Chain A
Amino acid sequence: MADIRTIGVGNPGVKSSSFNSTSFQKKTRSKLLSIPGTRPSVQNGQLLVSTGVTSLDFLLGGGLAVGAVLLIEEDRYDSYSRMILKYFLAEGVVCQHELFLASAQDSPDDILKELPSPIMDDVAIPKPMEQPRLSSDPQDSLEAMKIAWRYQNLPKVQSTLTSSSRFGHYYDVSKTMEAEIQQAAKCHRFYLPDHPNQTAPTHSPMLESYSALLKSLQEVIQKEGFEVSKSRNILRIGLHSLGSSLWGDDLCCCDNPKHAHALTTFLYGLRALLRSSLAVAVVTVPSHLIQNRALMGRIAKLCDTAIALESFKGSEMETNPLYKDYHGLLHVRQVPHLNCLASQFPDHRDLAFKLKRKQFSIERLHLPPDLSETVSRVSRVELPGAASTASVCGLSTSANKHLDF
């Protein structure tokens, strides 16, 4: 694990607080590693990056740890998991990280064209309550303000994203990212059909497609200099739909797959590469196609963080009135504890998500209050899924004016 605990939390106001109420400042060590788009975790000083979805960051304890792998178990039609992958890559573009995108199904260029557009106007709007600070570029010609002279010393509104030091941004899903912004980011692509099978005679359990991917990843990390000692930037790796048949794997097709250990060996190698470099990976796996639950458990164990998405589209839960505000359920399968003894699981395990235009929100699922006048004993609905911790719940859908005597 990249031990970035040399970052002293020099400014205790990392998260908020425009009021400097204390003069306490932790002594910063001399080796400060400050990369845009990252921040140290409050729990153990680990370097975190944003996933692009602020509510997911909060769920994972502040963000995704650098050097770790996030596994997303895809929903049935791969709509929301793909959305999260795009948020992740878009966040990388905005924070000026480098990207690596691998896919067997769609060309990486197509995925990159669909990245959501960042919302620019929630960046650095100066509040009049703030203590006056020096303006960011002193070389600007100071036109003395005659009327609004109280605002003279406040920083100018910055509409470009490059100087944004915010952690986590918001994106507008209805628009795609403008081409100039997207092309400004450096992206390495791995499209499986471009890499024909080189039959190497090995007894390794890993498939050629995964070997080629691992080799390509290592080349990028070494050539672009993402190793811990040398790096000044983060590499964001997005691997789409690993384990599906298009990668040559038969995990999703057979009950007893021949290549049972191909994906697990690849994930082990991915973890090995990531622990020694400043990179983060998001891997999506079509887990609903994998019959062997134990194998899915092994795959999750080899990744650090694991979440599963279950969308309501096309299932009977779509019409369930309890779920009418949401698009699907989100299950947190695993939370890592890197460099510390205990992991911080989120307090609430019944979570549902909703993709709004400007936000992917993850909320705690709770029952609405029962507002009917009668106790609706007749209209009881059995709730499937994670929310059925209470065995049977009553829903006040129709006001059954049953007068029970």
Chain B
Amino acid sequence: MFTELNSILNTSPDKITQGELIVISERRCDASFLIHHFLSFYLRARCKVCFLGLVQSFSHYSAVSQRLGVSLVQAKEKGQLVFLEGLQESIAHLIPHEGKAGSDALNFIRDPTRGLQSLFELVRDSCGGPAAALGPEEEWGAPVLLVDDLSVLLSLGVSVGAVLDFSHYCRATVCSQLQGNVVTLVHCEEEEDDADDEGAEQLLRGLTHQCTLTLQVQGLPTGYCRDIHGQMEVCWTRRQPDGQQRLKKLFQYKVYDKGASFFARGTSSAVL
């Protein structure tokens, strides 16, 4: 959990906004530190978290969360965290053996034209599980779905329409029905006008249209810098009726071993 980011987004573990769809888009850089932030933030806020970790192993997330002060293993044992380890489950689908079926949630790997229905069913069952399933002493808060990352589904052959359908279903269930939050990460390659990366751009545009908050992360336009790892543009798309629509803020960031710091442009500690 990055305290500076909490103050930028005006949230804290005690007071979280509900019904939000947060889209993190990374353009030719790596914004997974934000996913780690949201994971530890929502676990601290005592929400029920469903995490689709499709690109890294569980031990990677666990090691990083340990540094941020949250134990994923304990959260899993207590039932607060439902973790889908994409890499491990996918082996059974990629190398089919007779007799061993593998979990259903990833059966789109065998046949991408099927769509992501089974994956959605996993999300729905873990987020919307009845309260009686939890122990009597633990009462978790609103459900949260975290996806890392959505564009790897495109690399596995799933069509953009199917991924947009999946995100729409998740949003309808988790955000509207269950008053929870959804955080997804989308990776794009080239600049916006390039025709090469049609799929990911379409996906990003579709998601940005539906979302309440976007965090657009990209490298510095002037190139690589050791002290400033990139810039992040925070854009609120929907606000309360009394607030403003479409508020945008631009920050630069630097990722450390145990956190990240965000600062206004030109105020990096290396410069001042």
Which residues of A line the B interface, CB within 8 A? Answer: 1-3, 5, 202-206, 211, 214-215, 218, 261, 264-265, 268-269, 271-273, 275-276, 292-295, 297-298, 301-302, 337-343, 345, 347, 349, 389
Contact = CB atoms under 8 A, between A and B. Distances in A.
Interface string B56-92: 1101100110011000000000000000000110110
Given A273-B91, A294-B194, A337 B30 contact: yes
Interface in B170-204: 187, 189-190, 194, 196-197, 200
Contact of A203 (B60, B113, B223): B113
Given A1-B57, A202-B110, A268-B152, 17 more contacts: A1-B59, A2-B59, A3-B63, A203-B111, A203-B113, A204-B157, A205-B112, A269-B94, A275-B57, A275-B87, A293-B190, A293-B194, A293-B196, A297-B190, A298-B155, A341-B258, A349-B224
Contacts of A301: 155, 187
Nearest to A255: B196
Given A204-B111, A206-B94, A264-B155, A341 B259 contact: yes
Contact of A204 (B28, B33, B110, B187): B110
Of the four ranges (under 10, 10 to 19, 20 to 34, 35 or more), the interface on chain B belongs to 35 or more
18 contacts: A3-B59, A205-B112, A261-B112, A261-B155, A261-B157, A264-B155, A265-B155, A268-B90, A269-B90, A269-B94, A272-B87, A272-B94, A292-B196, A337-B30, A341-B255, A341-B259, A342-B33, A345-B226
A233 to B, nearest CB: 21
Nearest to A343: B30
Contact of A211 (B95, B151, B190, B260): B95
A297 B188 CA distance: 9
B109 interface: yes
A302 B226 CA distance: 24
Nearest to B93: A204
- From B59, B197, B229, name the one whose CB has the most chain A CB atoms within 10 angstroms: B59
Contacts of A5: 63
Contacts of A1: 56-57, 59-60, 63
Contacts of B112: 203-205, 261
B90 A347 contact: no
A378 B249 CA distance: 47
Q: Which A-B residue pairs are the 6 nearest by beta carbons?
A: A294-B197, A205-B157, A297-B189, A294-B189, A203-B111, A294-B196
A295 B63 contact: no
Interface in B234-259: 255-259
A353 B260 CA distance: 34
Nearest to A299: B155
B156 interface: yes
A265 B60 contact: no
Contacts of A269: 90-91, 94-95
A231 B178 CA distance: 45
B36 interface: yes
B155 A341 contact: no
Interface string B86-125: 0110110011100000000000011111000000000000
B257 A341 contact: yes
Nearest to A217: B95
A206 B157 CA distance: 9
Contacts of B113: 203
Nearest to A269: B94
Nearest to B26: A301
B119 to A, nearest CB: 15
Contacts of A264: 155-156
